[in-house]
């Protein structure tokens, strides 16, 4: 299903909020051939991400800021655009900590709203929502990083073990780890230092941003004594 061209800047053609239903299980992937984020900032890049089914969506999400590290520079936070899509009418939104300029209400199922943030926070809704995060393009700050898309995963779907791959030809690779109070999280069998963690508002959850180094094949293992 392709949106086509509707005109305008940004183009008004958009399938965001479309409900897909099928008589048997299907996979849905959201994608874009090449987009600027925001629409007036370079550089254009492609997006693709698997979309969660409604039964796996939630009313609460923990969202954290990515890091970028241009060559010979320290790592810095990279703002991202957050898009929230309603699955029910009159969905109210709240944030911890508060996010200035963030939407507080989605009137109809399928409606969406978006805002930019450089903070870690918890998003809560009165009904299930889809939450997508988009890294801003190079010209939107930091001189590195291009549009990239991730669908937020709610805590109910967190697991205690992961295997991930970080391409070794990239400028740099980081992993964002979100964990509950008291959790011990390990990267390649080594515990993440306590000093690496910072609180996400007053939620009780914490985030650590860790650079991925030292594996020539780019493969890494993550594990914890609690889902994270």
pLDDT tens, the chain, 228 aa long: 988 889 988 888 889 999 999 999 999 999 999 999 998 998 899 999 999 999 999 999 999 999 998 888 899 999 999 999 999 999 999 999 999 999 999 999 999 999 999 999 999 999 999 999 999 998 998 888 889 999 999 999 999 999 999 999 988 899 999 999 999 999 999 999 999 999 999 999 999 999 999 899 999 999 999 999
Quote the tokens at residue 225.
């004594």
Given a contact cutoff of 8 angstroms between Cβ atoms, the answer to whether 75 and 172 are in contact is yes
Given a contact cutoff of 8 angstroms between Cβ atoms, the answer to whether 155 and 59 are in contact is no
Peptide bond into 31 cis (omega under 30): no
What confidence tens digit (pLDDT) does each residue in 35-84 have?
999 989 988 999 999 999 999 999 999 999 999 988 888 999 999 999 99
- Give the E-state strand segments of 52-211 in sequence order: 58-63, 67-68, 76-77, 80-86, 91-96, 105-106, 112-117, 121-135, 149-151, 161-165, 174-179, 185-187, 190-191, 197-199, 206-211
Which sign, positive or negative, has the C-alpha torsion 4, 5, 6, 10?
A: positive
Q: What pLDDT, on the 0 to 100 scale, is given for residue 183? A: 97
Quote the tokens at residue 31.
């994608």
């Amino acid at each position: 299903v392709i949106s086509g061209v509707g005109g305008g800047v940004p183009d008004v053609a958009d399938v965001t909020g479309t409900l897909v239903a099928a008589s048997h299980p299907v996979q849905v992937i959201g994608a874009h051939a090449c987009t600027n984020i925001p629409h007036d900032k370079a550089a254009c890049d492609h997006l693709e991400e698997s979309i969660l089914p409604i039964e796996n969506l939630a009313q609460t999400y923990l969202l954290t800021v990515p890091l970028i590290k241009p060559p010979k520079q320290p790592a810095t936070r990279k703002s991202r655009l957050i898009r929230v899509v309603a699955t029910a009418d009159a969905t109210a939104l709240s944030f911890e900590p508060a996010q200035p300029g963030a939407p507080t209400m989605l009137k109809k199922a399928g409606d969406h709203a978006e805002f930019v943030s450089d903070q870690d926070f918890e998003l809560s809704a009165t009904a299930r929502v889809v939450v997508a995060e988009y890294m801003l393009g190079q010209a939107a700050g930091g001189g590195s990083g291009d549009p990239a898309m991730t669908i937020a995963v709610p805590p109910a779907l967190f697991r205690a073990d992961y295997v991930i791959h970080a391409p070794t030809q990239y400028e740099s690779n980081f992993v964002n780890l979100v964990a509950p109070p008291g959790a011990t999280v390990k990267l390649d069998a080594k515990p993440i230092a306590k000093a690496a963690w910072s609180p996400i508002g007053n939620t009780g959850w914490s985030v650590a941003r860790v650079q991925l180094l030292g594996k020539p094949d780019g493969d890494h293992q993550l594990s914890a004594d609690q889902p994270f």
